[in-house]
Amino acid sequence: MRSTRRVVTIQSGEEAGRYSDPSLLVLASLANGPKHGHAMIEDIAQMSGTKLGPGTLYGAIARLETQGWIEALPAEDRRQPYQITAKGLRVLRAQLNTLNQFAKAGLRRLASL
C-alpha cells in the first residue's frame, strides 16, 4: 500500500524530475561563490526544485568538509559561509560529467522507444 502510493506520487507529481543527492547539490550551489546555509537552501531549491531540510544540508556540509571538498570562511555574525575547494571543483566536474553521459545515454534509449 505504502509503495503503491509512493509510485503514484512520483508518476503524477513534480517530484519525478528532481535530483536529490545532497552532497552534489551543495557542491553545485557553491560552484558560483561562497554561501551560508540559508542561502544554499534557497539556491538549491531554485536550481533543482529540491528543498533540502536543514538537517540534511548540514549532514552534507559536515561530510564535504571532512573530505576537504568545501571549507568554512570566517563567520559573518552567527552565520557560517562555505566555499568550494579546488579538490571539490574537480569532484563536482567529474560527477556532473558522469551524470551528463548517463543522462544522454538514458535519453537516447527513451528516444528509441
Partner 1 sequence: MNRRLAQLLISAYPRWWRQRYGLEFEALLVAEPGGLRNLVDVARSAVRERVISPNGPDEPALPFGLVATRPSAFLPVVMSLTALSAVIFHILLYGITRQADEGGVAHIWQIFMMGQLPLLAFFAIKWLPRAPGYSLCVLATQMVAALASVAPVFLLKL
Burial 21-56 (b: 16+ CB within 10 A, else e): ebbbbbbbbbeeebbbbebbbebbeeebebebeeeb
Q: How far is the CB of 107 from partner 1 (least distance, A)?
A: 32
Contact 20, 50 (CB under 8 A): yes
Least Å from the CB of residue 65 to partner 1: 8
Nearer to partner 1, 47 or 58 (CB): 58
Question: Binding to partner 1 by residue 36, rule CB under 8 A?
Answer: yes
Q: Which residue, 79 or 93, has its beta carbon nearer to partner 1?
A: 79
In the complex with partner 1, which residue's Cβ is closer, 49 or 53?
53
User: Could you tell me if 34 and 83 are in contact, meaning their C-beta atoms sit under 8 angstroms apart?
Assistant: yes
Single out the residue of 6, 38, 87, 90 in contact with partner 1 (rule: CB under 8 A): 38
H or E stretch at 60: helix 54-67
Site string for partner 1, 40-79 (x = CB under 8 A): -x-----------xxxxxxx-xxx-xx--------x-xxx
Question: Rounded to a whole number, what is the distance in angstroms from the first to the last CA of the chain?
Answer: 30
Binding interface with partner 1 (CB under 8 A): 36-38, 41, 53-59, 61-63, 65-66, 75, 77-80
